[in-house]
Structure 1
């Protein structure tokens, strides 16, 4: 049995749970940068870790995590935000965490790898019907239908 062969209702519930769980983690980390640490301390931390353009990178990370987390929770433009979040986590893995090995307790990459993998899975699977994307998809598909062209291979 694969995700596409699961009963549709179960698939939608599982995607909802994955989106809300992953989105909540991203949202918490984004808000932590804004509210708990503050952007000045986040920028200093990014500079100490060797992140390029730490002032800009800190703001981009905080915004992507906060807005992306909310977008995942509600299922808004899920593939777009999931890919942005995955790209950010892959950047964090390569720039900061890779030299420390896998264990998060040693500043390793296990958390950012898991978050990137989850985001990539959501980018591939989509948000499901229990989402803003799912509600708007039928309308969007109906609007796009007249623009579709048939492509056939010549024999």
Structure 2
């Protein structure tokens, strides 16, 4: 849920605070490929994808897409700047790891499931059926 919340916040900032022209300019300076395409795509995917992840909808495909998005949009800027310190890596690293965790492990509990008190689906065969008791007829 934390990864989804951070993606949602970043998408919100890109659309409503920085604006798409500002994000496009930042992507151009950072060397992100195709900034006119990747800036709006990134903003919309982060905002909508983060919200959908919070709800547990299409979690694995979204997580894979968001992980790829982190690599495509953050890696060029980090590599172009010379030596990179932990402060530049921590947020992209956490978003990448969180996305990969959802991609590989599934959504787990979602916001909606947590509010309803539901639990994630059990793996096949996790529950064993009770053996019927034998009844003898007199």
Give 1:81's match in structure 2, choosing from 48, 62, 74: 62
Give 2:97's match in structure 1, choosing from 117, 124, 129: 117
* TM-score, scaled relative to structure 1: 0.66
* Structure 1 spans left out of the alignment, 5+ residues: 1-19, 139-155
Quote how far apart the aligned CAs of 1:52 are.
1.8
Give the aligned length: 115
Quote how far apart the aligned CAs of 1:101 are.
1.3
Distance in 1 (alpha carbons) for counterparts of 2:23 and 2:75: 18
Q: Is the 8 A contact 1:64 1:85 kept in 2?
A: yes
Query: What root-mean-square deviation, in Å, do the aligned CA atoms of Structure 1 and Structure 2 show?
Result: 2.3
Distance in 2 (alpha carbons) for counterparts of 1:57 and 1:44: 11
Equivalent positions of 1:28-67 (< 5 A) are: 28-67=9-48
Post-superposition, which runs of at least 4 consecutive aligned residues in structure 1 deviate over 3 A?
129-133
* TM-score, scaled relative to structure 2: 0.73
1:73 to 1:44, Cα distance in 2 relative to 1, 3 A:
same
* Structure 2 spans left out of the alignment, 5+ residues: 122-138
Which of structures 1 and 2 has the bigger CA Rg? Answer: 2
> Could you say what secondary structure the match of 1:60 adopts?
helix
Distance in 2 (alpha carbons) for counterparts of 1:41 and 1:130: 33
